[in-house]
Structure 1
Amino acid sequence: MTEHRPIKPPQEEKSSSLLERASGAFGLNDLGAAPMPKSFDDVPMKRARPLRKSGSDQAPAPAPAPAPAPAPEPEPTPAEISVEAPAAEAQLPVPSQSAPPPAVIEGSANAIALAGEPVDVDFDRLRKSGFVDPTGQASALAEEFRIVKRQVLEAARHAGTGLSRRILVTSPHQDEGKTFCAVNLALSLAAERDLEVVLVDADFANPSVKDAFGLPERAGLMDVLGDAESGVEAHVLQTDIDGLWILPPGRQASHASEALSSRRTAEMFERLTAQAPNRIVLIDSPPALAASPAAELAKHVGQTILVARADRTGKSALEDAAQLLAACPDIKLVLNGANFSPSGRRFGSYYG
């Protein structure tokens, strides 16, 4: 068993402290504190300058002595030399020799100008046929087509493409009011400021647009499709209604559907709407379930208005017509000839 005996410090250390006696017992006397220097360098310290009260005669505190300049560094060898721009100049962009070209934004500067023959519209004929009054007379019919117009323009602005500014107007069968809606919508759109409307009569078998306006026979759509050198802008008739242009159907042709499915049709519509954000192309086509041109024209438009006649057009006819027009991404339904409204709305009655 290990024997424990009390540690007896030397006699000369009896007067020392407990920590000093323990240090001597374990042999730690040689581990003393680090030697203190005899004097410190008188390094000036930064002191805050005392505030001088107004009216006081006390002299301001002397400024601190400047720090000694550092010793010059040895000149670097050529391999160590690097050229750097000052910090203030490095943040400034270096001007280029030529300014970058501006961004290309679609506008009307490069649009194909319409340069067709000017013609006069028979206003009395339009009024007697029950169309919207081109002079802007308020009526229930004008208010109804203002609502349709807003939906069409909103869709065109939202898409922002030339395709969305081409609108096809058709119906499942004949005598359901497609030409009536196409003409009224064209008149309503032409009343907008800074807007060009091109109404295309694509009903080759039964053209009705020129008859509604009382226009003479002129070359038109089929003539442009049959002649690769013919520009469509030269065949668009300028009416005396501000903002309204009309493209007649042109000469009769037995292969109208094949002509509409050619590349020439796509080029013609692109020529009308390219770089022209303020131009709307409205197409009156044959009935979708009675002739094939409507399905071909649906491939070249961004909106289609499918006209249904109240108490006449059946649900199955609308479904079949919508399926044939499925190439168009946006198909809208317009109910024509409705005399009853569950909400009791009577547009136009407010104006007297």
Structure 2
Amino acid sequence: MSELKTSIKEEDFNLKELIAPYVRFLPWFILSALVFLSLAFLYIRYSTYVYQSEATILIKDTNNGALSELAAFEDLGLGGAGLSKSDFENEIEILKSKRLISKVVRDLNLNVKYYREGNVKSSEVFLETPFTVAVVSLKESSPYLLKSLYIKQISDKEFVIKDAQDAQESTYNFGDTLNLDFGELVINSASNPSRRSDKDEFNDFTLVSISSVSQAVIDLKNNLNIQAANKNSSVLKISFNSSAPNKSEAILNTLIDVYNNDAIQDRNLVSANTAKFIDRRLEIITSELDSVETKNVNFREDKNVTDIATEGQLFLQSKTELERKRLEVSTKIGLASAMNELLQNGSDNELLPVNLGLSGDGLSTSIQEYNNLVLEKERLLKSSTSANPVIITLDNQLKQLRSSITSSLDNVKTSLEIEDKDLRRQSGSIGGKIAAIPSLTKAARDIMRQQEIKEALYLYLLQKREETAISLAVTTPKAKIVDRAYSLRDPISPKPKIVYLGALVLGLLIPFGIVYVKTLLDTKIHNRLDIEKALPELAILGEVPTIDSKESETITSNDRSVLAEAFRILRTNLGYYIKSSSRVTGNTIFVTSTIKGEGKTFVAYNLALSLATTGKKILLVGADIRNPQLHRYIDKNIWTIGLSEYLFDDTVDVDSITFEVKNESEQMDLILSGRIPPNPAELLMNGRFETLISEVKDDYDYVIVDTAPTLLVTDTLLISQNADMTVYVSRADYTETKLLEYPKELYRDGKLKNIAFAINGIKINNFGYGSKYGYGYGYGQTKKSLFKRLKDRLGLS
């Protein structure tokens, strides 16, 4: 649990350490934020607000029914798959095409812009001016011309034009054609009363900006945004940005109308071309159909047929009937032959068959009479003989009848043979016709097939011609308007909240970046925290604040300044350190530093003064004989000899080089460095310095020795064994952090005794742990106002 608390404290400590450099510059953060917020306010106040207008349309999927000249023949399979479906991306490109945008620019006269000028900025107006400017032509020398004119209406019929560059004014009448240096213009008075407003005064100029159509098309296209509502639909969102919302809405609505009209024209053009094609085909099909029908008539006339199938059936029936008749005739001929053979080879008394179907020349009657006579004869022979005259008479009659029957049979047979021959002829003729029926049928079917094809194509073309005529009469827009153009209430640029937020962030970021870079590149120490990090095992006696160039470098009696308080604390901590340290056995205190300029002499002198105010007897020795600095704090012309003379000349005693220094009511003894010798190291090594310390240490409460920097020269290390403790001075914002490794090495190797640090040049806000235990302003000292401190910081006091 204690480890967790320790970890939390360390994190809190580190966080404070991280933000401490930025907290010190808080006034600059506030000032920078206020400056940028003020600039943001001016920017928003005088910027031109840009509004976004939007419109939503649905691209209809018509399966390209009117986008192909073969669309009328899709049911014949003549429409390609690539022409049967609308390409959504292509429609977006068509909407953004320069061809359609050029129509919008010309319809709305967008190459002419009108501005109402204010005190600071000009605002674009649309359909709100008392006049309109029409560009008749522009000179070809400037395809992307941009010309500005000031136009003022001075009456209902006249106006004044002033060039924006040369400021020359010219008066013209409305409706006149103006031949200017860049082209021809016609300016008309607004016929629509709604274009006039109460703000339109005759004494106000309107700024008119004229550009070429090409430039206006480029500007419109750059501000036009078209995108799909989502990836699975054919809904398009069209947006346009402008400072005049009514202008943006007019542009979007006009673009949609132009797109629909263009699609309708395309469909009408296709339908018209299709109608022309159908009419041409109808003419050809009509001629071909007439030719086929004429061929059919000629064929039937040549072949003498009307209905081949019916006539063939009749021919078959006739042939069957003829065959039946031929069979009957053949049978009768056979019967006639048999009867004739019976008459010739039979007996005289044999009866002849009757009802055999033979007719003609009274044959049946003769046979019946013959049979009757034969029966009469047989009856008479039963009662008489053949000599009976009656029987003889009957025989004669029978003989005559037999001859008559024979003759009749011959005639019937001859007649039947003639009839059989005729039937054979008729059967052969009908058989020939029946044999010709397949070839006639084939030829007729070929003609009929051609006729049917031509008739079907003719009727199909008639139907499609009617459908095409209907499509020409009924036109539907390509794009269905879901939402007509409307403008958003809030401007898209500038957005006050975002501008203020950006200004605030930028106002804080710039000083933050400066402080961050400064901190990142900073290699100096700034407060006791830096010393404690590098040398945690060494004590810190105190912190000495930096002083202004106008302030005194030495403390005085009853001094209540921050400098005096700092040395009082340093004095107190020194006393506690000496009492609490068992290793400090004497009163000799060396004051040294790593390099030149860290303020060791300043600390040594003021520390001696501070100790002297407590009534202690103090001796301050200037042991930096290479670069003496103590004389800066006294009248240097008084002193002529010092430590170097004592070290060099054995006849010089301590009293001769010791002088009394008075600072108001405080006094102390001082031994200056004397003249700068050529061999300081050798002088310090000759033993005279140890003799000096041993002589004076018992006579004074504190012997403070101002020594040379330890890193630059070896002087201090040569005499360090004479010190009871060492006050090691480092200077904030001057001493490099890496130089702290040197006193650490001296402490570790024991080259300096009982080292304790004094930090010089600390800024007020860096006292203690980032002002955590800082002195603030001296007790009882009046705190400066923020304004005064800012003036002091900026050097304006």
Question: TM-score surpassing 0.5?
Answer: yes
- Higher mean C-alpha displacement, 336-345 vs 318-327: 318-327
> For the residues of structure 2 that align with 1:279 and 1:271, how far apart are their CA atoms?
13
Matched residue, 1:174? 596
Matched residue, 1:249? 673
Change (3 A) 1:162 1:317: closer
Matched residue, 1:351? 780
Matched residue, 1:215? 636
Asked if 1:280 corresponds to 2:709, the answer is no
Matched residue, 2:571? 149
> For the residues of structure 2 that align with 1:288 and 1:155, how far apart are their CA atoms?
23
Matched residue, 2:349? none
- Higher mean C-alpha displacement, 149-158 vs 133-142: 149-158
Q: TM-score, normalised by structure 2?
A: 0.27
Write out aligned runs for 1:1-352 (5 A): 130-157=552-579, 164-193=586-615, 195-216=616-637, 217-241=639-663, 242-274=666-698, 276=699, 278-324=700-746, 326-339=750-763, 340-341=766-767, 342=770, 343=772, 345-346=774-775, 348-352=777-781
> For the residues of structure 2 that align with 1:327 and 1:344, how far apart are their CA atoms?
32
> For the residues of structure 2 that align with 1:189 and 1:301, how far apart are their CA atoms?
18
> For the residues of structure 1 that align with 2:583 and 2:647, how far apart are their CA atoms?
23
Q: TM-score, normalised by structure 1?
A: 0.58
Higher relative contact order (CA 8 A, sep 6+): 1
Change (3 A) 1:223 1:240: same
Deviations 1:268-316 (A, max 9, x none): 1000013x3x521111112111111121232210111111112332333
Q: 2:720·2:753 contact (CA, 8 Å) conserved in 1?
A: no
Q: 2:729·2:757 contact (CA, 8 Å) conserved in 1?
A: yes
Q: 1:222·1:251 contact (CA, 8 Å) conserved in 2?
A: yes
Change (3 A) 1:336 1:162: closer
Change (3 A) 1:201 1:345: same
Change (3 A) 1:160 1:230: farther
Q: 2:625·2:643 contact (CA, 8 Å) conserved in 1?
A: no
Q: RMSD across aligned C-alpha pairs, in angstroms?
A: 2.4
Q: How many residues align?
A: 223
Letter in 2 for 1:327: K
Cα deviation for residue 244 of structure 1 reads 1.0
Cα deviation for residue 148 of structure 1 reads 1.2
Percent of aligned positions that are identical? 26
Q: 1:198·1:282 contact (CA, 8 Å) conserved in 2?
A: yes
Classify the secondary structure of the residue corresponding to 1:230: coil
Classify the secondary structure of the residue corresponding to 2:662: coil
Matched residue, 2:524? none
- Higher mean C-alpha displacement, 263-272 vs 336-345: 336-345
> For the residues of structure 1 that align with 2:560 and 2:724, how far apart are their CA atoms?
30
- Unpaired segments ≥5 residues, structure 2: 1-548, 782-797
Q: 1:167·1:301 contact (CA, 8 Å) conserved in 2?
A: yes
Deviations 1:113-144 (A, max 9, x none): xxxxxxxxxxxxxx956323322221111111
> For the residues of structure 2 that align with 1:316 and 1:161, how far apart are their CA atoms?
28
Change (3 A) 1:163 1:232: farther
Change (3 A) 1:328 1:259: same
Letter in 1 for 2:620: L
Is the radius of gyration larger for structure 1 or structure 2? 2
Q: 1:176·1:307 contact (CA, 8 Å) conserved in 2?
A: yes
> For the residues of structure 2 that align with 1:133 and 1:295, how far apart are their CA atoms?
30
Deviations 1:68-97 (A, max 9, x none): xxxxxxxxxxxxxxxxxxxxxxxxxxxxxx
> For the residues of structure 2 that align with 1:168 and 1:179, how far apart are their CA atoms?
11
Letter in 2 for 1:313: T
> For the residues of structure 1 that align with 2:558 and 2:755, how far apart are their CA atoms?
28
Classify the secondary structure of the residue corresponding to 1:333: strand
Classify the secondary structure of the residue corresponding to 1:239: strand
Change (3 A) 1:129 1:204: farther
Classify the secondary structure of the residue corresponding to 1:245: strand
Cα deviation for residue 238 of structure 1 reads 0.8
> For the residues of structure 1 that align with 2:674 and 2:578, how far apart are their CA atoms?
28
> For the residues of structure 1 that align with 2:755 and 2:607, how far apart are their CA atoms?
16
Change (3 A) 1:317 1:189: same
| Higher-strand-fraction structure | 2
